[in-house]
Chains A and B, each alone.
Chain A
Amino acid sequence: NAGVTQTPKFQVLKTGQSMTLQCAQDMNHEYMSWYRQDPGMGLRLIHYSVGAGITDQGEVPNGYNVSRSTTEDFPLRLLSAAPSQTSVYFCASVQGMNNSPLHFGNGTRLTVT
């Protein structure tokens, strides 16, 4: 099993550009989520999904869109990148949220200039 796969690993964008961060898992997990990690602020939840066709907002959803058309994939879209979105982004999945650990991808380091 590959687990949770994120692409790309690194990305540099200019302000105003758009891009999609990809996340795929092969564990048939129902729940998937996106976090951003900034120094001194831990991991903050952006969006999450409890199953195909269902998404919801986390703590810091502004500037990001998500969709969940399949169980396996949960892409994160930045429609108009801003320097404040410079961060490390982690995708995570779990079979069910009750007493189950999150499985994280390796992360995407995004820089917006």
Chain B
Amino acid sequence: GQQVMQIPQYQHVQEGEDFTTYCNSSTTLSNIQWYKQRPGGHPVFLIQLVKSGEVKKQKRLTFQFGEAKKNSSLHITATQTTDVGTYFCAGMTTDSWGKLQFGAGTQVVVTP
């Protein structure tokens, strides 16, 4: 069945540095979504990518969907303490409508 893998599992970042988290699927995805979960909170939607090769930016966050629609990445520049949390990717295939599958998440810790 469909599997969504996310790396790294943990990311320690110095404030001001950049980092990237990666998401890979074993099957082609119809779309991919990214969520952020603050410690003790619930996942909050960040963005959705639908088109092959799509790139979207939200301030210091850059999201990319691979050409084959099997992988995605989230790049954060000039990390701030407000970026602390766990970032999840979630994907769905055309033959698994309704079953949005989440990656295990990347837990980000920011050192001032």
Residue of A31, A43, A99 near B98 (CB, 8 A) is: A31
A101 to B34, CA, bound (A): 9
Q: List 12 A-B contacts (CB under 8 A).
A: A33-B98, A33-B100, A43-B90, A45-B101, A58-B99, A90-B43, A97-B98, A99-B48, A101-B45, A104-B44, A106-B41, A107-B42
A42 to B4, CA, bound (A): 10
B19 to chain A: closest CB distance in Å? 19
Collect the chain A residues with CB atoms within 8 Å of residue B27's CB: none
Which A positions have Cβ atoms within 8 angstroms of B?
A: 31, 33, 35, 40-45, 48, 50, 56, 58-59, 90, 97, 99, 101-107
Residues of B in contact, count (CB < 8 Å) = 24
Residue of A nearest to B10 (CB): A40
Residue of B nearest to A58 (CB): B99
Whether B45 pairs with A42 at a CB distance below 8 angstroms is no
Whether B99 pairs with A43 at a CB distance below 8 angstroms is no
A42 to B106, CA, bound (A): 9
A33 to B104, CA, bound (A): 18
Q: A105 and B9 in contact (CB under 8 A), knowing A42-B103, A45-B99, A58-B99?
A: no
Whether A45 pairs with B42 at a CB distance below 8 angstroms is no
Whether A41 pairs with B99 at a CB distance below 8 angstroms is no
Whether B92 pairs with A97 at a CB distance below 8 angstroms is yes
Given contact pairs A42-B102, A59-B101, a sample of 16 additional A-B residue pairs in the complex whose CB atoms are under 8 Å apart? A31-B98, A40-B9, A40-B104, A42-B104, A43-B43, A43-B88, A43-B90, A97-B97, A99-B31, A99-B50, A101-B45, A101-B48, A103-B45, A104-B42, A104-B44, A107-B42
B25: interface (CB < 8 Å): no
B68 to chain A: closest CB distance in Å? 19
Whether B104 pairs with A102 at a CB distance below 8 angstroms is no
Residue of A nearest to B46 (CB): A101
Collect the chain A residues with CB atoms within 8 Å of residue B101's CB: 45, 59
Collect the chain A residues with CB atoms within 8 Å of residue B33's CB: 101-102
Whether A106 pairs with B98 at a CB distance below 8 angstroms is no
